[in-house]
Amino acid sequence: MLVFGTRPEAIKIAPVISALRRTTTLDVRVTVTGQHRAMLDQVNTLFGIRPDHDLDILEQGQELHSIMTRTINGLSPLLRDDPPAAVLVQGDTTTSTAAAIAAFYRQIPVVHLEAGLRSGNLQSPFPEEANRRITSQIAALHLAPTSTSRQNLLDEKIAAADIAITGNTVIDALLQVVRDHHPFSDPRLEALVGSGRRILLVTTHRRENQGAAMRGMARAIDRIAENEPELTVVLPLHMNPVVREAIVPALRDRQNVILTEPLAYGEFARLLSLAAVVLTDSGGVQEEAPSLGKPVLVMRENTERPEAVTAGTVALVGADEHAIVDSVTALLHDDEHYASMATAVNPYGDGRAAERVVAAVEQLLGVGTRLPDFTPLP
């Protein structure tokens, strides 16, 4: 059984579902919680995912403890009445940790996709850092995307035999979707295609950045747009009203800023391929953008994805307004600096992560053998 509830989880699990359905050794059951309903449904439609079970836990203004308890309570009868051989969860959402706990309580092996990411700070990102550490303690199989993630697990006394390095399945999903050239539903975005204008793609939603920090980010983006009239800033808004309250008032009247509703993943992937620079506090974008040769500036003080920082494709700029403006300006106007970030090696995947995931699960269940671990191209 595969369990997920948010758009990022769905994107990263979709290639695994496709690969599992091509096997003759395993039956696949998909359960969604609906933690992010509208955005989740978009991705399920894009990848042709038809859930077998939908817990439909979403409530207006839902708090974290409610997501946790409703997910465990919803999964419990499914796991009791028709227990799967294993439960696969992805990443560090509250859905994934709740599903792992529910399976553990039923003594069902937990497979953790994207295991071993660590920021080193339990409060940042919150609650993701705690979620993934908890899941690591109860997982039977740890599917680490990189050698750094594997080492983090080894440092926590996880047995080497229980870890496989697969690469990140988001690269599998991205490469598939980019090839399809999905049209934009927003005519303002379609007008950018072939316009010659440079695009700064911005995404922000992190809980630890909400409030004063996010308002500072909005001011920084406004200053960048004012200083760079030939630049178009595109910012797909998160559904969270707290994020919108910080962003929209500061940017809605700026002529070269386009605020959009959340984009379907196919549209987002196309926009990412068109962007010159990416400014984000998202984890997934740090993995996706380097695959397309896009420099990424991260509005956080730390990252659980240090591989791209080491490779030179990602730079941490923090949440300070002035630092954000200076970093974006430097990247836009320093061709040598830009080229060094745009041509660095992507350490996250080669498009075959899902194959390695399936092989590792087959070995866990005694019906196959693992593939060699993923290693980035030099």
Of the pLDDT bands very low, low, confident and very high (cuts 50, 70, 90), residue 378 is low
Among the listed residues 36, 132, 142, 238, the single catalytic one is: 238
175 found inside a domain: no
Instruction: Look up 205 and say whether it is catalytic.
Output: yes
Contact criterion met (CB below 8 Å) for 291 and 171:
yes
Q: What is the pTM of this model?
A: 0.90
Of the pLDDT bands very low, low, confident and very high (cuts 50, 70, 90), residue 36 is low
User: Is the confidence at residue 35, as pLDDT, over 70?
Assistant: no
Q: Supply the mean pLDDT for the chain.
A: 94
Q: Alpha-carbon distance 360 to 354, whole Å?
A: 10
177 found inside a domain: no
What is the token pair recorded at 367?
A: 């019906």
Beta bridge partners of 143: 113, 164
Instruction: Look up 238 and say whether it is catalytic.
Output: yes
Of the pLDDT bands very low, low, confident and very high (cuts 50, 70, 90), residue 292 is very high
371 found inside a domain: no
CATH number at residue 308: 3.40.50.2000
179 found inside a domain: no
Q: Is 30 helix (H, G, I), strand (E, B) or coil?
A: strand
Q: Domain count of the chain?
A: 2
286 found inside a domain: yes
Instruction: Look up 63 and say whether it is catalytic.
Output: no
User: Looking at the structure, do residues 127 and 218 belong to the same domain, yes or no?
Assistant: no
Contacts by 161-164, CB closer than 8 A, 24 or more apart = 163/115, 163/116, 164/356, 164/357, 164/360, 164/370, 164/373
User: Looking at the structure, do residues 120 and 217 belong to the same domain, yes or no?
Assistant: no
Q: What residues make up the domain containing 24?
A: 2-168+349-364
Q: Alpha-carbon distance 114 to 9, whole Å?
A: 10
User: Looking at the structure, do residues 104 and 202 belong to the same domain, yes or no?
Assistant: no
Contact criterion met (CB below 8 Å) for 144 and 161:
no
The better pLDDT of the pair 323, 302 is held by: 323
User: Looking at the structure, do residues 12 and 55 belong to the same domain, yes or no?
Assistant: yes
pLDDT at residue number 338? 97
User: Looking at the structure, do residues 288 and 193 belong to the same domain, yes or no?
Assistant: yes
373 found inside a domain: no
Mean pLDDT of 167-183: 93
Among the listed residues 118, 205, 300, 356, the single catalytic one is: 205
Instruction: Look up 128 and say whether it is catalytic.
Output: yes
Among the listed residues 92, 287, 321, 355, the single catalytic one is: 92
Contact criterion met (CB below 8 Å) for 203 and 283:
no
Tens of pLDDT, residues 246-289: 999 999 999 999 999 999 999 999 999 999 999 999 888 999 99
pLDDT at residue number 206? 78
Mean pLDDT of 129-157: 98
> Is there a cis peptide before residue 15, judged by omega within 30 degrees of 0?
no
pLDDT at residue number 377? 72
User: Looking at the structure, do residues 32 and 125 belong to the same domain, yes or no?
Assistant: yes
